[in-house]
Amino acid sequence: MVRALHSSLLLIPLIFVLQTAHGQDKKNISGNFTGYTFPRLVDYLEKNTPFTFYYDPKEVDSIFINIQVTNASLRQLLDLVFQGTALHYAIDSSGRVFVSNRVTIRTALPPGFFSRDKDTIALIKEPAEEDNPAQKTKFKASEEFQLIAVGDKNARSATGKATLAGYIRDIATGEAIVGAFLTVDTPAVSVVTDQFGYYTLSLPKGRHHIRITSQGMTPTRRQIQLYSDGKLDINLKEYVANLKAVVVTAEKTSNTRSLQMGVNRLSISTIKQVPAAFGEADVLKVILTLPGVTSAGEASNGFNVRGGSVDQNLILLDDATIYNPSHLFGFFSAFNPDIVKGIELYKSAIPEKYGGRLSSVLDVSMLDGNNKKWTGNVGIGPLTSKIFLQGPIKKEKTTLVLGLRSTYSDWLLKNIPNSAYSNSSANFYDANLRLTHIINSRNTIYLMGYASKDKFNFNNDTTYRYSNANANIKWKHFFSPRSYGLFTAGIDRYEYSISDTRDSTSAFKLGFDIRQTYVRADLNYNPGNKHSFNYGISSIYYQLHPGYYDPVGPHSIVVPDKVGSEQALESALHIGDQYAVNTRLSFSAGLRFSLFNYLGPHDVYGYAPGQPRQINTIVDTTTYGNNKVIKTYSAPEIRLSARYNLPGEASIKFSYNTLQQYIHMLSNTVTVSPTDIWKLSDPSIKPQSGDQFSLGYYRNLQSNTIELSIEVYYKRLKNFLDYKSGAELVLNHHIETEVFTTRGKAYGAELLIKKTTGRLNGWLSYTWSRTFLRQDDPLAGELVNKGKFYPASFDKPHAANLIGNYALSHRYSFSLNVVYSTGRPITLPLAIFNLGGSPGLYYSARNAYRIPDYFRTDLSVNIDGNHKVKQRFHNSWSAGIYNLTGRQNAYSVYFVQENGLVKGYKMSILGTPIPFVTYNLKF
């Protein structure tokens, strides 16, 4: 007799009545059950023993029995039958056998059961699943415990290896899941999905168990019978019940097992947990809480990674380079949180497919979009409004993601009873578009577009404008399941301008722009699990207008000025291999060869040989024609990393990188400001180069709930640019006379402790890092700091961050964010002197002093409505205080001449506790 029973129905009611039943389990079963299905075995057992079986036929339909036993007990027999599956069984005192998937049914109450609080019960029971048990059971039964046949059953050989490949996607939205882990125990293999959620696994033919884990998703597993090369797409379900716990599952394996080091991967759900000023999740602000990442201060654009300058970060939004990643001078990041899928920040082992920047690569990926149904978001606030839409234009074929965000903060400024504010205006917008079209299983086209514009005017004074515009198209093509190529073409543009039209005779507009057109091909080939090859070619054509100064209006007597445009072609070839020697040791080795051609038309100044580069040492001017190669630089770049797994959940990783950078940001301020100038390497300005050694130790404690990592690094920089005394950068026709090259060294240690589960979770990071520069330019004409090392302007020795979340219950939680860092170095004017009839300022040694340390605490309380999945309205509140202690952190320190005196001022913004409330209502 067969009685089918839904597993979830078993869970609660039966717990109370079941008893253990050892007495009945006699060793009296003998027989040859080879070729039996489970129902047939049950049939046999129910006829020949007093046991009655309760099970779901769907859960057992993949079990094939190949057992012979003599005088075995029922337990012994079932242990053999269920070996290697996720099925469990329980036998009660009445001789009833319950077969369950994944969860062992307790036939007795656990000790102290009735003294436990409600939360514990909630953990014993599968949370949030009672809403729709039927659907869930179906999902699990049909996929997790079915034996899935992959490949051609009639394949000639049953031995040897075959390749399994496919996509890991979100079941609800069809969104590809990046960085999901697929693990097979025998042979021990683990692979990670790529940026498209694609994986390839090479396995011996036969039966395998694959575990799939990913951040924020419910872990799942698949049983496959691999006959030959084949495809297996896996859909993951979002982990609904306890968002805090989500992060856990995903990263616990990746931390110690991933080959990559110095990489931080965050999903948007993690980003959204960090308290942010004004309740708007901010990608860049969260990056600043990671070890090794600092910024110049509050609301500053850009960030510094491991003692690198702001321009040494390659910021990519779906492969488009974003030159200015901020809005409103850093109050908001340029990335609309609605459209962000996740971020990856590479700090040390930078994959060979990336290049052109020395410090880091920040890869922000956009959502692919829901390919199943249309969903959206409308946000209305006092400062910004947003609309977000995603959905299939053609179901499971063509998907659109559209995000728009805009401010209208002018009215708020106008209402402030202070003329400096009411005469100001500030606004920005950004727009994101992404289109994914699946032509067939081998070809997919992706189209992205991004546009942003900022305009800021303070007290009817100078108007600052800047804008980003980016678009690209990608074609992904599978040559075979083991090999695919990604072909990208795109254009990026960034421009800024400053204008002042108050006085009609001196009305001017000063501006700058950068445009880059690029093509790239990235190919991937996985011959087996031991090797994974990446290779490709890329080319970027730069066009820069380093500055123009034009009159505005008919009455302006401003004399137009224009710095000659610059062109260059940066090309690179790359090849890399990830090689898993065995389960403990793996390597990644890559080589990138970059080639930079500085191209005409351009007028190049020649300087007297051996003389300092100064205006009065210019000896000639050479005019180069269109596309004429003026100067070529090239260099091989090495990318090496290795991982060795230690016993227990621990590993050691090592990496060594060399990098080249051909485009430089010139700035007199420490942050990205609209007056920064980008400059290409030219005959006088050599490319920056650098290398980095890093070593890390990773350990997971307390059954993977606590992650510990320590990374140390040592970096060397060559030809890093710093500025001569009194350098003038804006509209300078011979900027090489204002800069000098330095050699730099940066070193540091980063400590990260992360608690991923439990009521209390979060992370604590501490970074000790130093960056020093030393003038290394015989042609500079002056010797800064007497030729000795001095701290770089972004040198911040100590930085600590605490992100903590504490869940009082499922509905109430607290989040705390504490930030501390040493103040950045500053060169102070110390005295006024008169020499040769002329007054002047006497400054300290370069960067000899520091502005005050930075400290800030943010607190927020999150109150969720109920957790029922199927209800009309979902609401949640988030309230908090930004800068709880009200510390007036220095945003900038500057000196101005007032009535003949030189006065110092410290400007702080957000220098008071700022309360915020966010209310979310979804329907």
Partner 1 sequence: MLIAFRKYSMILWLALLVSDCKKPYDPPAIVGPNNYLVVDGVINTGPNSVTIINLNRTRNLNDTIVTGIPELGAQISIVDRNGATYSLIDSAGKGLYSSSPLTLDPAGQYKIEITTSDSRQYRSDFVTPNATPPIDSVFYEQPRDFTLYLTTHDPANSTHYYRWDYLQTWEHDSRYQSPWELRRGQVWAKDPDSGSQQTDRCWTTTMSNTILLGNTTALSRDLVDKMPIITMINNDLRLDIAYYILVRQYALTKDAYNYWQLIQKTSQQVGTLFDLQPTQLTGNIYCTTNPNEPVIGYMSASSIQQAHFYIENYQLKAWPHYIYMEGCPTHEARRLSPDDFHSWLYPDTAYGPYYFVSNGPLIVAPKRCLDCRSQGGTNVKPSFMP
CB 753 within 8 A of CB 766: no
Interacting residue with partner 1 among 71, 611, 627, 634 (CB under 8 A): 611
Measured between alpha carbons, how far is 490 from 321 in angstroms, rounded to an integer?
A: 10
* Shortest distance, position 377 Cβ to partner 1, whole Å: 4
**How many residues can be counted in the chain?**
923
Q: 3-state DSSP: the chain helix, strand, coil percent, rounded to 5? A: 10, 50, 35
* Shortest distance, position 411 Cβ to partner 1, whole Å: 11
What is the DSSP annotation of 446-468? EEEEEEEEEEEESTTS-EEEEEE
Answer yes or no whether residue 727 interacts with partner 1 by CB under 8 A.
yes
* Shortest distance, position 458 Cβ to partner 1, whole Å: 11
Smaller CB distance to partner 1: residue 182 or 735? 735
Smaller CB distance to partner 1: residue 85 or 409? 409
Query: Quick one: which segment of 107-115, 302-310, 764-772, 893-901 binds partner 1 (CB under 8 A)?
Result: 893-901
Smaller CB distance to partner 1: residue 554 or 836? 836
Radius of gyration of the chain (CA): 31
* Shortest distance, position 302 Cβ to partner 1, whole Å: 18
Measured between alpha carbons, how far is 797 from 823 in angstroms, rounded to an integer?
A: 9
Smaller CB distance to partner 1: residue 234 or 666? 666
Chain position carrying tokens 């191209």: 599
Q: State the DSSP H helix or E strand holding residue 59, giving kind and residue range, or none if neither.
A: helix 57-60
φ, ψ at 122 (rounded to 5°): -60, -30
Query: Quick one: which segment of 608-616, 678-686, 713-721, 798-806 binds partner 1 (CB under 8 A)?
Result: 608-616
Interacting residue with partner 1 among 382, 553, 636, 778 (CB under 8 A): 382
Answer yes or no whether residue 375 interacts with partner 1 by CB under 8 A.
yes
- The torsion angle over the Cα atoms of residues 407, 450, 326 and 273, rounded to 10 degrees, is 80
Q: Which of 24, 46, 30 is nearest to 91 (CA)?
A: 24
Answer yes or no whether residue 838 interacts with partner 1 by CB under 8 A.
yes
Q: Binding to partner 1 (CB under 8 A): which residues in 767-796?
A: 781-786
Answer yes or no whether residue 381 interacts with partner 1 by CB under 8 A.
yes
Answer yes or no whether residue 374 interacts with partner 1 by CB under 8 A.
yes
Answer yes or no whether residue 901 interacts with partner 1 by CB under 8 A.
yes
Cβ burial of 308 (10 Å; 0-12, 13-18, 19+) is buried
Measured between alpha carbons, how far is 469 from 431 in angstroms, rounded to an integer?
A: 10
Answer yes or no whether residue 832 interacts with partner 1 by CB under 8 A.
yes
Query: Quick one: which segment of 106-114, 143-151, 643-651, 906-914 binds partner 1 (CB under 8 A)?
Result: 906-914
Smaller CB distance to partner 1: residue 278 or 525? 278
* Shortest distance, position 282 Cβ to partner 1, whole Å: 13
Q: Binding to partner 1 (CB under 8 A): which residues in 847-866?
A: 849
Interacting residue with partner 1 among 115, 154, 703, 897 (CB under 8 A): 897
Query: Quick one: which segment of 7-15, 139-147, 801-809, 842-850 binds partner 1 (CB under 8 A)?
Result: 842-850
Geometric angle at alpha carbon 107, from 106 and 112, rounded to 5°: 70
586: left (phi over 0), alpha (psi -120 to 50) or beta: beta
Answer yes or no whether residue 408 interacts with partner 1 by CB under 8 A.
no
* Shortest distance, position 605 Cβ to partner 1, whole Å: 10
* Shortest distance, position 833 Cβ to partner 1, whole Å: 4
Answer yes or no whether residue 377 interacts with partner 1 by CB under 8 A.
yes
Query: Quick one: which segment of 4-12, 347-355, 807-815, 884-892 binds partner 1 (CB under 8 A)?
Result: 884-892
Answer yes or no whether residue 386 interacts with partner 1 by CB under 8 A.
yes
Smaller CB distance to partner 1: residue 312 or 390? 390
Answer yes or no whether residue 911 interacts with partner 1 by CB under 8 A.
yes
Interacting residue with partner 1 among 723, 772, 794, 854 (CB under 8 A): 723
φ, ψ at 364 (rounded to 5°): -100, 120
Answer yes or no whether residue 703 interacts with partner 1 by CB under 8 A.
no
Residues β-bridged to residue 125: none
Q: Binding to partner 1 (CB under 8 A): which residues in 127-166?
A: none
Query: Which pair of tokens denotes residue 407?
Result: 């401010």
Answer yes or no whether residue 1 interacts with partner 1 by CB under 8 A.
no
Residues β-bridged to residue 849: 826
Q: Binding to partner 1 (CB under 8 A): which residues in 654-683?
A: 668-669, 675
- The torsion angle over the Cα atoms of residues 208, 209, 212 and 217, rounded to 10 degrees, is 140
Answer yes or no whether residue 804 interacts with partner 1 by CB under 8 A.
no
The distance from CA 560 to its chain's CA centroid, rounded to whole angstroms, is: 43
Query: Quick one: which segment of 79-87, 267-275, 378-386, 565-573 binds partner 1 (CB under 8 A)?
Result: 378-386
Largest pairwise CA distance in the chain: 115
Answer yes or no whether residue 915 interacts with partner 1 by CB under 8 A.
yes
CB burial string 469-489: b at 16+ within 10 A, e below: bbbbebebebeebbbbbbebe
Residues β-bridged to residue 134: none
Measured between alpha carbons, how far is 605 from 613 in angstroms, rounded to an integer?
A: 10
Smaller CB distance to partner 1: residue 348 or 432? 432
Answer yes or no whether residue 618 interacts with partner 1 by CB under 8 A.
yes
Q: Binding to partner 1 (CB under 8 A): which residues in 71-90?
A: none
Geometric angle at alpha carbon 386, from 383 and 389, rounded to 5°: 175
Those residues with Cβ within 8 angstroms of residue 759's Cβ, 6 or more apart along the chain or in another chain: 806, 807, 808
Query: Quick one: which segment of 150-158, 343-351, 414-422, 812-820 binds partner 1 (CB under 8 A)?
Result: 414-422
Measured between alpha carbons, how far is 421 from 428 in angstroms, rounded to an integer?
A: 17
Q: Are strands 220-226 and 147-150 parallel, antiparallel or unpaired?
A: parallel
Answer yes or no whether residue 909 interacts with partner 1 by CB under 8 A.
yes
Interacting residue with partner 1 among 48, 725, 866, 871 (CB under 8 A): 725
Smaller CB distance to partner 1: residue 479 or 895? 895
Smaller CB distance to partner 1: residue 112 or 836? 836
Query: Quick one: which segment of 9-17, 219-227, 812-820, 891-899 binds partner 1 (CB under 8 A)?
Result: 891-899
Interacting residue with partner 1 among 152, 728, 811, 812 (CB under 8 A): 728
Query: Coil, strand or helix: which one is 756?
Result: coil
Q: Give the N- to C-terminal CA distance of the chain in Å, as an integer.
A: 47
Answer yes or no whether residue 501 interacts with partner 1 by CB under 8 A.
no
Query: Coil, strand or helix: which one is 142?
Result: helix
Q: Binding to partner 1 (CB under 8 A): which residues in 259-318?
A: 277-280
Measured between alpha carbons, how far is 849 from 828 in angstroms, rounded to an integer?
A: 7
Total binding residues toward partner 1, as defined by CB under 8 A: 102
Smaller CB distance to partner 1: residue 451 or 618? 618
What is the DSSP annotation of 474-505? EEEEEEETTEEEEEEEEEEEEEEEEEE-SSTT
* Shortest distance, position 621 Cβ to partner 1, whole Å: 12
Neighbours of 597 (CB within 10 A): 19
Interacting residue with partner 1 among 153, 502, 840, 868 (CB under 8 A): 840
Measured between alpha carbons, how far is 276 from 289 in angstroms, rounded to an integer?
A: 12
Smaller CB distance to partner 1: residue 384 or 529? 384
Answer yes or no whether residue 906 interacts with partner 1 by CB under 8 A.
yes
Smaller CB distance to partner 1: residue 801 or 918? 918
Q: State the DSSP H helix or E strand holding residue 270, giving kind and residue range, or none if neither.
A: helix 268-273
Measured between alpha carbons, how far is 605 from 623 in angstroms, rounded to an integer?
A: 9
Query: Quick one: which segment of 80-88, 102-110, 638-646, 908-916 binds partner 1 (CB under 8 A)?
Result: 908-916
Cβ burial of 549 (10 Å; 0-12, 13-18, 19+) is middle
Answer yes or no whether residue 425 interacts with partner 1 by CB under 8 A.
no
